[in-house]
């Protein structure tokens, strides 16, 4: 089992990010869906009585999605997995500012595989030592990685697009941007998404290799997604939660249609 905490600094408030994240998840899902692959939304509903982070958070929004991923997993997994097994179930409890997401493969790997992503959003510069209140034994195993919005080296060539280049980005609605190298210390507001990723892949001879691969993918995923959240600020800034829920309902229907037609879209493994 490998544990890495990714810290992503963003030029917005924690309250703004709640809207921006949900908007961008819906948009990114559409960009990753087509040709029989992508995102299928099974549930999107409020929940209560589900304690998280030592009981501090117990209610919010629950989603259950299936990711149809045949072309998006590493070759090593495609070679050993039978046809039809490359479906990942995602169950997420959004009790903002804390969120928990669990990825599993119940039909094939069953209890031998999971990825758990726990995120705490805080109005600081990424200097909270133990945002997830880990016990000493897990804290000792945790690796901390900072993901920079300006670091092109963590992205693939196809991820780098002018419309999400934050060194040239400017938000008309907020007056923010472009971001300079020292933006973290010279820009306000600033917040940090503390994303604790725990993964386990129990397969003799492959466990370490696959777990390392899984963790190596997340800087790219988090880097690309959070560039989009920031670059799309003028699209989501000022939206209400009611606007977001209406958008999610519409997106769910669009995804179902989009997944059945067209060509495969979105990110692929390098």
Q: HSE (CB half, 13 Å, CA atoms) of 258?
A: 21
Number of domains in the chain: 1
The verdict on residue 84 lying in a domain is no
Q: What is the pLDDT of residue 262?
A: 62
Q: What is the pLDDT of residue 114?
A: 93
Q: What is the pLDDT of residue 24?
A: 96
Residue 76 in this model has a pLDDT that exceeds 70: no
| Owning domain of residue 9 | 2-36+97-252
Report pLDDT digits (tens) over 145-195.
Answer: 999 999 999 999 989 999 999 999 999 999 999 999 999 999 999 999 999
Contact 254, 59 (CB under 8 A): no
Q: What is the pLDDT of residue 143?
A: 97
The verdict on residue 118 lying in a domain is yes
For the chain, how far is it from start to end, CA to CA, in angstroms?
A: 23
The verdict on residue 157 lying in a domain is yes
Q: Is the pLDDT higher at 138 or at 31?
A: 138
- The enclosing domain of 106 has a CATH number of 3.30.530.20
Report pLDDT digits (tens) over 235-268.
Answer: 999 999 999 999 999 998 888 887 777 655 455 5
Q: What average pLDDT score do residues 79-99 get?
A: 82
Q: What is the mean pLDDT of the chain?
A: 89
Report pLDDT digits (tens) over 94-119.
Answer: 999 999 999 998 888 889 999 999 99
The verdict on residue 146 lying in a domain is yes
Report pLDDT digits (tens) over 12-30.
Answer: 999 999 999 999 999 888 8
The verdict on residue 268 lying in a domain is no
The verdict on residue 77 lying in a domain is no
């Amino acid at each position: 089992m490998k544990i890495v905490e990714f810290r992503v600094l963003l030029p917005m408030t924690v309250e703004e990010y709640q809207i921006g994240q949900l908007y961008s998840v819906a948009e990114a899902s559409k960009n990753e869906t087509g040709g029989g692959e992508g995102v299928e939304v099974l549930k999107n509903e409020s929940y209560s009585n589900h304690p998280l982070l030592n009981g501090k958070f117990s209610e919010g929004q629950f989603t259950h999605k299936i990711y149809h991923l045949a072309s998006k997993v590493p070759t090593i997994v495609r070679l050993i997995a039978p046809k039809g097994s490359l479906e990942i179930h995602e169950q997420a409890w959004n009790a903002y500012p804390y969120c928990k997401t669990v990825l599993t493969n119940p039909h094939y790997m069953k209890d031998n595989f999971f990825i758990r992503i726990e995120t705490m959003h805080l109005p600081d510069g990424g200097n909270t030592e133990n945002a997830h209140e880990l016990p000493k034994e897990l804290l000792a195993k945790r690796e901390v990685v900072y993901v920079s919005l300006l670091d092109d080296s963590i992205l693939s060539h196809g991820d780098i697009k002018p419309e999400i280049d934050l060194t040239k980005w400017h938000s008309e609605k907020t007056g923010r941007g472009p971001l300079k190298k020292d933006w973290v210390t010279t820009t306000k507001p600033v917040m940090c998404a503390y994303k604790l990723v725990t993964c386990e892949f129990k397969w003799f001879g492959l466990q370490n290799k696959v777990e390392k691969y899984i963790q190596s993918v997340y800087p790219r995923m988090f880097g690309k997604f959070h560039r989009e959240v920031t670059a799309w600020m003028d699209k989501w800034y000022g939206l209400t939660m009611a606007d977001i829920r209406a958008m999610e309902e519409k997106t769910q229907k669009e995804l179902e249609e989009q997944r059945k037609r067209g060509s495969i879209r979105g990110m692929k493994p390098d």
